[in-house]
A and B are shown apart, each in its own frame.
Chain A
């Protein structure tokens, strides 16, 4: 019964002892410089690949995104507006801070699973899952105090005197006091909404 564990343990011991031994043939200069160069190349490659997965082009290369949420984004103000400044998918859906970004990317491995097994590969399937998927994003933005909104929309730079009266009043009463965060009121600003029955603030 114990033999497979014993074998694995012996293998671990062998790897450790060879890794723990000083190099027999390679110079220390080669190992340090080579290690540095290899590190730069590995890190550069890793980061380039990571950043590639952080582009709109990558997101919409799957028809699930391209045919559903991206089409819905296009007529909204976050895609088409007077000044031409626009948000791409990762601007709102991926944290900009590195550690948060990596943890989100690890969560996204589940999305790869969904892609492989076609969880939302038709419009009907997507609509059926929409409430749950939107809920994930609302929860995430609620938990980080709408960080991805605030990466562009800062309360310090928000001049409420040029806002409409009702927007200014709402922001003063709820945003500046910290009573609510962006996503509490601004749901569905970039995509169509799921069935909002039972969602707080919706009838």
Chain B
């Protein structure tokens, strides 16, 4: 009986210790330490970049980011709003950059007349940018700097 009690107290003590350290070391939780009964204030939503200025790609294969708002731009089985400007046949009127030629190829590099179905959902790779400060420091080094030994 005595041994059992010792076990229990140790367990409870360890649990209490664990919970205090978890809270004190500022572990990131989804609730951000907000008590379960109250609701945390939602973080401020950031503005979507809408300046139509191209950003530099960090590496040649990077899908270019979208320099404009895309709110309510429908991409579904029925319609693709992006293609109504960026498709090859639409660029004359829209003066928008044409969808990359690689998107007019199937996976065996066979050229197609229209955008390949596997490239249809634009925002799977291409995304808008917001004015949010980075959550963590970015240690990415452009290959250009590495080549030059900087």
How many residues on the A side are at the interface (Cβ–Cβ under 8 A)?
A: 18
B49 to chain A, nearest CB (A): 10
Give the distance in Å from the alpha carbon of A164 to the alpha carbon of B53 in the complex.
Answer: 10
Q: Which residue of A lies closest to B71 (CB)?
A: A77
Which of these, A76, A192, A194, A203, contacts B80 with CB under 8 Å?
A203
Contact between B90 and A76 (Cβ–Cβ < 8 Å)?
A: no
Chain B interface category by residue count: 20 to 34
Contacts of A193 in B (CB 8 A): 74, 76, 78-79
Which stretch, B15-23, B27-35, B81-89, touches the partner chain A? Answer: B81-89
In contact, B90 and A201 (Cβ under 8 angstroms): yes
Q: Contacts of A170 on B, CB cut-off 8 Å? A: 94
Among B84, B95, B115, chain A packs the most CB atoms within 10 A around the CB of: B84
Cα–Cα distance between A192 and B80 once the two chains are bound (Å): 11
Chain A residues in 8 Å Cβ range of B72: 75-77, 189
Interface assignment of A166: CB less than 8 Å from any CB of chain B: yes
B137 on the interface (CB 8 Å rule)?
no
Q: A192 to B76, Cβ gap below 8 A?
A: yes
Given known pairs A164-B52, A166-B68, A203-B89, the reply for A196 and B114 (CB within 8 Å) is: no
Q: Report yes or no: B71 in contact with A203, Cβ–Cβ below 8 A.
A: no
Q: CB-CB < 8 A to A77: which residues of B?
A: 71-72
Q: List 14 A-B contacts (CB under 8 A).
A: A77-B71, A165-B52, A166-B68, A188-B74, A188-B79, A188-B81, A192-B76, A192-B78, A193-B74, A193-B79, A201-B90, A202-B83, A203-B80, A203-B89
